[in-house]
Amino acid sequence: MGNLSRRRILTLGAALGLVGVTDVSQAWSWSSSGSIAGTDSVTDPFSVWDPTADEVAARLLADGSIPAVNKAWESWADNSDALPSGMPDYLTAYLKEVNRLPSWADPALLAASEKLYKRLSSYLFVSESLGSGILSTVIPRESRAVYWSAGGADMKARAAKTFTFGYDLHSETAWQPGGHFVVSANKTRLVHSAVRNLLPTSSHYMATADEPKPISNGDILITFHSVATVAHNNMQKWGVKLSATEQAADLHAWQVALHLLGVQEQFIPASWSDAQAQATQMLWPVVAPTSEGISLAKTLLGYVEDPVLGLDTGFVSEMVRYLIGDKYSDWLGLPHDLVSRTLIKAAWPAYVQFREGTSSTVPDGFYLFDQFIRGIAMLYLNNGTSATQTPITLPTANRPGA
């Protein structure tokens, strides 16, 4: 097969979100000419981490400051909040440098993203929390890092913290003084750094690791594509109409988010077509089943299928299959429900079009889908206890027994 034909097949697979190519022998070739840096070099993002933040996290772990920092962070939530007292001077100095938007952030596009996400919130709940949440369990590096870290031992809390990041990004006040996203992103960045310091001390993690430490710039980009690029594809597949400005606003919000997470500008895609090309090389070729991922998927789906939410197991499994495809779902051992499958394939796009106002016909399963969205929202927003946020805290250890 020629290189051009191969690229076309991979691009189609990335657009559909249904390809699991396992050939990863080709060297990294995505050029920074497709990044917001606009240079023309090829640098492997899987060999780049976040050294400044990692050094701060290492000091916090070494001097035992993390419990005090987590306590101090309780009062630090809004973008306009002053940095809290009770933190080591070196952490305060670091946060003073990073707790702000980059100079290239576009206020008009960020404001447009707030309006867009308010409109798309229901669909993003489905695509990102259920679809991308389960898709993450067939990304081997992510699955192993999550499973063997402290969060892997309490996946309901871990999922809630992860969704806090997404909820804050998609809030209608995300970038405003009373919004939370800049703070949530900076907390998450330091959580990643703590995990980078901790996981290499886990014999169980290192036994299967194929990198010296987890969560490289490349790994963060893979997560970005499994969430944002997949959601972008889903909006197109479901018939959600987005203007050019709305698509640019969506991407720009994620560009700023990646910057706040410590991803270098040479890796941040400049356009959705650049993002698709990057995902083609870094996401779809690496998906594979792992014992850790299968365990995580079973745990996550157990929360969604909780009878309290009134969601049928067959319906949930088929919704996951619709979102991530049969191949990945088979890896995870998800059951089939042909009745739910038929309903979802025919009625979910019609439901979206009705909600979008592009169709006046109430689709079959309308109330079922509404119930489904409410259940997902309740699970991930409330975590069973809070109607606002789940605090993002720094870990002090790996999974017990790791």
Q: How far apart are CA 240 and CA 245, in angstroms?
A: 14
Confidence (pLDDT) at 198? 98
Pick from 288, 318, 367: which is nearest to 375 by CA?
367
Q: How far apart are CA 347 and CA 319, in angstroms?
A: 12
Confidence (pLDDT) at 19? 35
CB neighbour list of residue 158: distance below 8 Å, 6 or more residues apart: 146, 151, 152
**What φ, ψ does residue 208 adopt, rounded to 5°?**
-120, 0
Structure tokens at 320: 């996951």
Confidence (pLDDT) at 156? 72
Residue in the structure block whose two tokens are 């389960």? 134
286 Rama sector, left if φ>0, alpha if ψ -120 to 50, beta otherwise: alpha
Q: How far apart are CA 380 and CA 366, in angstroms?
A: 22
How many helices (H) and strands (E) would you count in the chain? 19, 0
What DSSP character marks residue 336? P
- Could you tell me where the DSSP H helices lie in 136-271? 140-148, 155-169, 181-198, 203-208, 217-224, 230-237, 244-260
Confidence (pLDDT) at 3? 37
pTM of the model: 0.90
**How many residues are present in the chain?**
402
What do you get for the CA distance between the two ends of the chain, in Å? 44
| Residuewise pLDDT in 10s, the chain (402 residues) | 333 333 333 333 333 333 333 344 468 999 999 999 999 999 999 999 999 999 999 999 999 999 999 999 999 999 999 999 999 999 999 999 999 999 999 999 999 999 999 999 888 888 988 899 999 999 999 999 999 999 888 877 777 777 778 888 999 999 999 999 999 999 999 999 999 999 999 999 999 999 999 999 999 999 999 999 999 999 999 989 999 999 999 999 999 999 999 999 999 999 999 999 999 999 999 999 999 999 999 888 877 766 545 667 888 899 999 999 999 999 999 999 999 999 999 999 999 988 888 777 887 888 888 878 877 766 655 544 444 567 889 999 999 998
What DSSP character marks residue 48? -
How many of the other CB atoms lie within 10 Å of CB of 239?
13
Helix (H) or strand (E) holding 67: helix 66-73
Q: How far apart are CA 166 and CA 161, in angstroms?
A: 9
Q: Name residue 268's amino acid.
A: I
**What φ, ψ does residue 269 adopt, rounded to 5°?**
-60, 140
Q: Name residue 236's amino acid.
A: Q
Give CA separation, 18 vs 3, 226, 233, 326, in Å.
20, 11, 11, 8
Confidence (pLDDT) at 306? 63
Confidence (pLDDT) at 78? 95
What does R_g of the chain's alpha carbons equal in angstroms?
20
Confidence (pLDDT) at 85? 96
Q: How far apart are CA 375 and CA 369, in angstroms?
A: 10
CA dihedral 69, 71, 77, 81 (to 10 degrees): -70
Confidence (pLDDT) at 55? 98
